[in-house]
Amino acid sequence: MPRRIDTTHQSVSPVAIVFGTRPEIIKLGHIIRLLGESAWIIHTGQHFDIGLSRVFFDAFHIPEPATTLGVGGSTRGVQIGDALSALNRVFSKKRPSVVIVQGDTNSAAAGALAANASEIPLLHVESGLRSFDRRMPEEHNRVIADHLADLCCAPTETSRSNLRNEGIPDDRIIVTGNTIVEAVESLLPPRDRRESLMAEFGVRRGEFVLSTFHRPENVDDPATLRTIIDELARIPIPVVFPVHPRTATRIRADVELTRLAERLIMVEPIGYESFLGLAAEAAMMITDSGGVQEEASILKRPVLVVRRSTERPEVLGTFAERVEPGPAITDIAAKWFAELDDLHSRLAVLPSPYGDGTASAKTVATIPGLIGR
């Protein structure tokens, strides 16, 4: 458990933490804990079911948001615009000393724009990730946040290089590691709880796949999603498939997809701790999630990334391999399963490229230097 840092000397103004999705809560949870009473939690509502987010507040033992904006359920442009307008009104009434945003969400872009418009110092957690794929809305969001940030907290040297290549000066960049490391290390269930989870899902250690899909490039086109589900269904070991609400909607709308998906162990979205527990015991993971790529490097499990591109190249060739939808999914899964013991042994001794679990503390330690910029 991280040691709380006393930040009361910094300023009478709070530090605004702006987020709107569950992955952001995971990445910001320990930063919020370390800030203690200085943290002003603002939830944009981008993931508009606050009930689904509540489990993450409970997991990190942090208070629920002091301010909620309710911008969920809209298009990207409307979400960013509405969140920006709402944040401008909020900051005009109560001015924070610093605004913190994380990652590449619509909420991060809106928070960055609002901080800039109100001339409030901006800190961007997980800066410098680049897929170099302009078709991804997330790529534009992260570039906006990086170039507006007064301080970019880069998780790796690769991320720092990306920022430098775009002309961001060194005095606005710090390499902290990634806060996902401390999140995983603190929330990974013990072995007995993991045994119970496997029994609950009817699977055995090292004899199942854990899979998630939610990105528009994979789930919005019925043919692409059908290909992915068909490939998953061909894998000769059980596939546990927590179904994202976006993906569930697409599956229900297609009779053939529904039939194919019945061959998987489809479950409702599960809590983060339970997900980590299953991931730690899985043979492998197959996903389009960015966060799962990071988690795999901490849990020492191979992950097949089904996407056109990835903004996390640090894990490629070690913990991860990237493919596009098609037969390569089952081909690689079969290859990995055939050499699973050796593969797990090789990964077990590889360090994660995302740091040593001190990213949150390093990030919080930079805040006094931002105040007054």
pLDDT in tens, 312-341: 999 999 999 999 999 999 999 999 999 999
In a domain, 32, yes or no: yes
In a domain, 9, yes or no: no
Section 353-357 average pLDDT: 97
Q: Calculate the average pLDDT of the chain.
A: 93
Partners of 338 in the β-ladder: none
Q: Are residues 50 and 105 in the same domain?
A: yes
Cβ proximity of 69 and 82 under 8 Å: yes
Task: Read off the pLDDT band of 46 (50, 70, 90).
Answer: confident
Q: Are residues 107 and 229 in the same domain?
A: no
CA distance 172 to 91: 23
Across 54-68, 143-157, 216-230, least confident range? 54-68
Report the pLDDT value the prediction gives residue 246, as an integer from 0 to 100: 85
For residues 121 and 7, the model is more confident at 121
In a domain, 72, yes or no: yes
Task: Read off the pLDDT band of 8 (50, 70, 90).
Answer: very low
Section 216-233 average pLDDT: 95
In a domain, 10, yes or no: no
Q: Are residues 201 and 150 in the same domain?
A: no
Task: Tally the domains of the chain.
Answer: 2
pLDDT digits (tens, 9 = 90+) for 242-295: 998 889 999 999 888 999 899 999 999 888 899 999 999 999 999 999 999 999
In a domain, 105, yes or no: yes
Alpha-carbon 129 to chain mean position: 12
Across 38-47, 85-94, 110-119, least confident range? 38-47
Cβ proximity of 62 and 29 under 8 Å: yes
Q: Are residues 217 and 298 in the same domain?
A: yes
Task: Read off the pLDDT band of 159 (50, 70, 90).
Answer: very high
| CB-based burial, 57-84: b 16+ in 10 Å, e otherwise | bebbebeebeebbebbebeeeebbbbbb
Question: Which residues lie closer than 8 Å to 241 by C-beta, 6 or more apart?
Answer: 211, 212, 232, 261, 264, 265, 266, 267
Q: Are residues 25 and 67 in the same domain?
A: yes
Q: Are residues 19 and 118 in the same domain?
A: yes
The CA-to-CA distance between both ends of the chain, in Å, stands at 31
In a domain, 171, yes or no: yes
Q: The domain containing residue 244 runs over which residues?
A: 188-348
CA distance 178 to 353: 9
Of 298, 306, 354, nearest in space to 327 by CA:
306
Section 220-226 average pLDDT: 94
Report the pLDDT value the prediction gives residue 52, as an integer from 0 to 100: 59
Q: Are residues 204 and 157 in the same domain?
A: no
Catalytic residues: 214
